[in-house]
Structure 1
Amino acid sequence: MLDDTALDTVFRTARSYNGYTDQPVAESELHAIWDLMKWGPTSANQLPARLVWVTTDAAKQKLAEACSAQNKPKILSAPVSVIIGMDTNFHEHLPELFPHTDAKAWFDGNAELRAASAFRNSTLQGAYFIIAARMLGLDTGPMSGFDAGVVDAAFFHDTPAVRTNFISTLGHGDPASVYDRLPRPAFEKFNTIA
């Protein structure tokens, strides 16, 4: 079992940040996040997430234009933003990623099943991204509040099977940018043991 420091870092004292310090994020840190998060489990090792690491001013401006008024300044001021996309043609990679059976055949000709699986498993991978970033000493600010069609057209126009799931900012969080800790319900409120 991990100690309380690790549990606090990943969950109990971790926060979603609305702003960051001026400390930069190195490209090697982006690779380190991926090299950790890629080990998180997905159904049949689908790994449908496709990440765009938004680091340049031009790319930040393009992404910010697709965001709500509240989220636009967060994108523009964060050292990095990450678009967590989902590849609805993930099944094409299953012969390599899940080689012990013909898992690709499960999804061939079934766009609805692929879309549901891509959404579910890329969301899992997005959560692994958040956890990996926290474990590596970085902070995140996951968000909705954007026009997915605009993001898709701007960043996934060459890969039409990839669609945006959600966006997150990334950096070293500014403690002044977080809200007071919001409540979390007790186990009994939302859980049933059957």
Structure 2
Amino acid sequence: MPFALDDAALDLLFREAHTPKTFTGEPVGEDAIRAVYDLIKLAPTAFNQSPLRLTLLRSPEARQRLLPHMSPGNQAKTATAPMTVILSVDLEFHRKLPTLFPAVPGLKDGAFAEPAARERSGGMNATLQAGYFLLGLRAAGLAAGPMTGFDAEGINKEFFGDGSQRVLLVVNAGKPGPDAYRPRGPRLSFEEAAVTL
């Protein structure tokens, strides 16, 4: 096999991992999420940008603010997950670039001076980081339930009223509960997804 990881690690990250529909009541500790972030922040992005922001919803009050903005099919599992994370892009991420790269002149005022360029680059790189976050949760032995069924405008108003962030994805996280998994759905084959030129 062409992998540096053993089968147990590949099973944990990919082969046996599923999106859960139920969770146990076991809480997701702050140290676990901190460890996941400290791992995934090292994964590659353009210029090592870090535009992804995590809003951790643990309290019933925070969850109640989110639920009206979730699609009906996502409300019950979001209400019962031990933690829900709103993954968002910081549209002002470029302000931290000079502190990360003092030797790269012009990043703050040059490449990202235009809001459209910032939004495009921030969105793309935050989306990369969101994928890494899902794998990081799996690497920590947690199940991840990413969802795109929500009212983005409603979430943005409720949680990011100043307009500096924009929701990308909502993720339920925790230990999978009873009957958590449906059978794995089909995926495209290599031949269907790849072309060699």
Give the TM-score, by structure 2 length.
0.93
Q: C-alpha separation between the residues in 2 aligned to 1:175 and 1:128?
A: 26
Question: Which whole-Å CA distance do the structure 2 matches of 1:191 and 1:175 have between them?
Answer: 37
Does residue 131 (structure 1) correspond to residue 131 (structure 2)? The answer is no
How far apart in 1 are the matches of 2:39 and 2:69? 29
- Match of 2:46? 43
SS in structure 2 of the partner of residue 65 of structure 1:
helix
- Give 1:165's match in structure 2, choosing from 165, 168, 174: 168
The one-letter code of the counterpart of 2:25 is D
Question: Is the 1:51–1:82 contact (alpha carbons within 8 Å) kept by the matching residues of 2?
Answer: yes
Aligned residues: 192
Q: Is the 8 A contact 1:143 1:168 kept in 2?
A: yes
1:24 matched to 2:27? The reply is yes
- Amino acid in the other structure paired with 1:148: A
Aligned to 1:8: 11
Report the Cα offset of residue 74 of structure 1: 1.4
Per-residue deviation, 1:142? 0.0
The 8 Å contact of residues 45 and 98 in structure 1, kept in 2 or not, is answered as: no
Judge which range, 98-107 or 53-62, deviates more. Answer: 98-107
Counterpart of 1:180 in structure 2 is 183
Q: Does 1:95 align with 2:87?
A: no
Question: Paired residue for 2:112, among 107, 110, 115?
Answer: 107
Q: Which residue of 2 aligns with 1:120?
A: 124
Q: Spell out, residue by residue over 1:127-169, the C-alpha distance to the aligned partner (whole angstroms, 9 max, x if none).
A: 1111111101111100011111111111112x42211011000
Secondary structure of the 1:176 match is: coil
Give the equivalent residue in structure 1 for 2:75: 72
Task: State the SS of the aligned residue for 1:30.
Answer: helix
Q: Report the AA paired with residue 153 of structure 2.
A: G
Taking only aligned residues, the RMSD between alpha carbons, in angstroms, comes to: 1.1
Residue type of the partner of 1:107?
F
Moved more, 22-31 or 47-56: 22-31
Task: Provide structure 2 residue ranges, at least 5 long, that are not aligned to the other structure.
Answer: none
Question: Which stretch of structure 1 is more off in the superposition, 72-81 or 31-40?
Answer: 31-40
Is it true that 1:148 corresponds to 2:160 in the alignment? no
2:37 aligned partner: 34
Mapped to 2, the partners of 1:183 and 1:66 lie a distance apart of 29
User: TM-score if structure 1 supplies the norm length?
Assistant: 0.95
Identical columns (%): 38
Moved more, 96-105 or 165-174: 96-105
What displacement does 1:175 show? 5.0
